[in-house]
Structures are given as C-alpha cells and as structure tokens.
C-alpha cells in the first residue's frame, strides 16, 4: 500500500509538472517564429493580404511571422497541411470563403472539415464582387444586359480563373437566377480572362472588386452591378444587384486567419488579441479600403458561428444550382 501510495504521488506530481510546463510554454507564446500558410500561389489577392497580415503581426511579435505559400490542387494542399499541423499556434492558415466554404460545397470526401479541424482566430477583410462587361458591350445596366443576353441565349460568355473558383461558382448562381444561358470559359488565372475581355473575345466576368477595380477605372471594362449588401465606396455609382430588383444576390469574399483545432486557449486568446490590433491599424485599414474592401471585425464569441452560417448558406445554394468541378 505504501509503495502504491508513493507511485500515485509520483504520477500526480508528474502530471502537475507537465501542466506547469505547458502553461509556461503557452504563457511564453510565441518564443520562436510563426509560419502563416497561404494555400495559393504568390502574387494573388490571398497572398497579398496574407503578407500584409504577417508584416503587422511581426510588429507585435518580435519573434516574427513569415509567409509560406503551399499552392496546389486549388487550395487543398496548403489547407490540409495546416489542418494536420501541430496545434501549438506556430502554423496558421490564411482561410477564406474559397477554401473554408466553397471547397466543402464542391468537393466530395474533402480531406478536412473546415468547422471541426480549425479554430478561427480573426476575420480580417471582405470584398464585394463586381459584375463587369467588356467595354464595347452595348449595355449600361443590369436590365440592359439581361435583355441583350436573353434575346440570344447561348451566344454570350463569362470567364473565370478556373473551374470551382468563386468567379465560376458565383457567376453560375447569379446567371441562373437571372435566367441567362451563358457559356462558361475557365482560364488558368484571372489575368488571362481580363486579357480576353479587353480583346473583345469574352463578354462578362463576376469578380472581386480588388481584381477588376483598375480595369473599370481605366475604362477598359464596364461595371454593371455589385454583390455587396451596400454600394461600394470605390464605385458609388454602381447599384447592388438587389437594388436592381431583377434578382436577389448578396455575397462578399472574406479572409481570416485560422489555427488547427486543439490549439491551447491561452495561445488562441493571444493571437486573437493581436489580430484585433491588426484590424485597428490605420495602414492596414487603408490598404484594404484602397483595394475596395472593408475590414471585417467579428467578436471572438461569434467567429465560429459566422463560419457555420456561411457554410450553411452556400453549400445548399451550390447544390441547388448544380455547380460542379468535374
């Protein structure tokens, strides 16, 4: 009995010490650099926003935050990498509507569960989409566009950065709701689609305001309507799709920072506090607004609910519109 009692004391003491060490490690977080995974190739909007966030977090954490691009299979490789990474706060993900919602809607047997395998640390920015036409298309508003294209079904086209991208999925949903029969032309990237539009070989694109803003402002494309709930500050003359009364469509492409599920609460709290400071940084706010977006600040208590709401909203819509990647 004495030996049993001593063994029990040793086990309890060891567990206490392990707990103390873990607590000390969490309290000391971060004590080495943090890796922020961008699951998209360098140079795009996701990469740009990820690098800006990493820079701002590095100002707060002297140990540094650096970006690593893990592109491939759309966004699957990088996203899955973080889902399986150690849950210690040192490997984080730039997530967004594309990989945290649309992948679930489009891919059977997805290798990760966005709602179960990740913890949202903070949402950072959100961007409306703009429905844009080639500059010489004889339309001035959405009603003109619908009339023109209904008169010649199957003769007009819309482009995207590839099958399963938001340009493809949201374009299909919007055009279905308007009763339009359009040809989808997928490219290997949005720049190619824009080149085809300016050459007069592609008629429409439904894309993030940050991507098409410059083309519209230069008169190379023509904006028709926006997907956001309210008009965009950079294009106050463009009505929302809902304002036109022709159909109902509201959506914004958002970005956030995610950690693997199981990350210690103390680490999560510290990272969330840092991201709150990033969202209040005047330079960061100005960068987002310059690109036509808005800072997306959601309280910690509502972050998981926001993700679930987006999943529950878009997954059925994708299925209803029979949008597929194969």
Residue 239 carries which DSSP code?
A: P
For the chain, where do the domains classified as CATH 3.40.190.150 start and end? 33-126+253-320
Q: How far apart are CA 205 and CA 199, in angstroms?
A: 14
- The pLDDT tens digits for 230-257 are 999 999 999 999 999 999 999 999 999 9
The pLDDT, as a whole number, for residue 14 is 53
Those residues with Cβ within 8 angstroms of residue 8's Cβ, 6 or more apart along the chain or in another chain? none
As a dihedral over the C-alpha atoms of residue 237, residue 240, residue 243, residue 248, rounded to 10 degrees, the angle is 160
pTM of this prediction?
0.86
- The pLDDT tens digits for 5-61 are 555 554 455 545 444 444 445 778 999 999 999 998 887 778 889 999 999 999 999
Contact 203, 197 (CB under 8 A): yes
CA-wise closest residue to 61 among 21, 89, 24 = 89
Percent of the chain with pLDDT over 70: 92
Specify the 3-state DSSP secondary structure of 297: coil
Superfamily classification of domain 33-126+253-320: Bordetella uptake gene, domain 1 (3.40.190.150)
- The pLDDT tens digits for 265-289 are 999 999 999 999 999 999 999 999 9
Those residues with Cβ within 8 angstroms of residue 293's Cβ, 6 or more apart along the chain or in another chain? 125, 126, 127, 128, 209, 210
pLDDT at residue 324 is higher than 90: no
Q: How far apart are CA 214 and CA 219, in angstroms?
A: 9
For the chain, where do the domains classified as CATH 3.40.190.10 start and end? 128-244
Q: Which helix (H) or strand (E) is 252 found in, with range?
A: strand 252-260
Rounded to an integer, the average pLDDT of 57-85 is 93
Would you place residue 72 in the very low, low, confident or very high pLDDT band (cuts 50, 70, 90)?
confident
* Residue with token string 């490690």: 25
CA-wise closest residue to 70 among 61, 83, 59, 58 = 83
Superfamily classification of domain 128-244: Periplasmic binding protein-like II (3.40.190.10)
Would you place residue 125 in the very low, low, confident or very high pLDDT band (cuts 50, 70, 90)?
very high
Rounded to an integer, the average pLDDT of 178-182 is 96
The pLDDT, as a whole number, for residue 23 is 44
């Amino acid at each position: 009995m004495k030996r049993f009692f001593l063994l029990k004391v040793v086990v309890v003491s060891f567990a206490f010490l392990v707990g103390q060490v873990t607590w000390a490690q969490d309290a000391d977080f971060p004590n080495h650099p943090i890796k922020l995974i961008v699951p998209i190739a360098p140079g795009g909007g996701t990469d740009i926003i990820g690098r800006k966030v990493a820079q701002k977090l590095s100002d707060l954490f002297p140990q540094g935050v650096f970006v690593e691009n893990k592109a491939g299979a759309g966004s699957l490789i990088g996203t899955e990498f973080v889902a399986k990474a150690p849950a210690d706060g040192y490997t984080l993900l730039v997530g967004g509507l594309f990989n945290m919602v649309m992948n679930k809607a489009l891919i059977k047997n997805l290798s990760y569960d966005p709602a179960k395998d990740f913890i949202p640390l903070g949402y950072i920015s959100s961007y409306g989409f703009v429905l844009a036409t080639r500059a010489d298309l004889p339309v001035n508003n959405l009603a003109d566009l619908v009339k023109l294209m209904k008169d010649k079904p199957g003769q007009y086209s819309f482009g995207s950065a590839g099958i399963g991208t938001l340009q493809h999925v949201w374009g299909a949903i919007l055009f279905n709701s308007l009763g339009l029969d359009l040809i989808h032309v997928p490219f290997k990237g949005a720049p190619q689609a824009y080149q085809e539009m300016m050459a007069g070989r592609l008629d429409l694109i439904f894309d993030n305001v940050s991507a098409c803003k410059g083309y519209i402002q230069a008169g190379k494309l023509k904006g028709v309507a926006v997907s956001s709930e309210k008009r965009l500050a950079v294009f106050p003359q463009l009505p929302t799709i809902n304002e036109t009364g022709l159909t109902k469509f509201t959506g914004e492409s958002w970005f956030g920072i995610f950690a693997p599920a199981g990350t210690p609460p103390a680490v999560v709290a510290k990272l969330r506090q840092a991201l709150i400071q990033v969202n209040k940084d005047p330079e960061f706010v100005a960068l987002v607004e310059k690109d036509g977006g808005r800072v997306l600040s959601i309280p910690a208590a509502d972050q998981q609910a926001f993700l679930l709401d987006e999943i529950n909203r878009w997954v059925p819509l994708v299925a209803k519109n029979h949008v597929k990647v194969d």
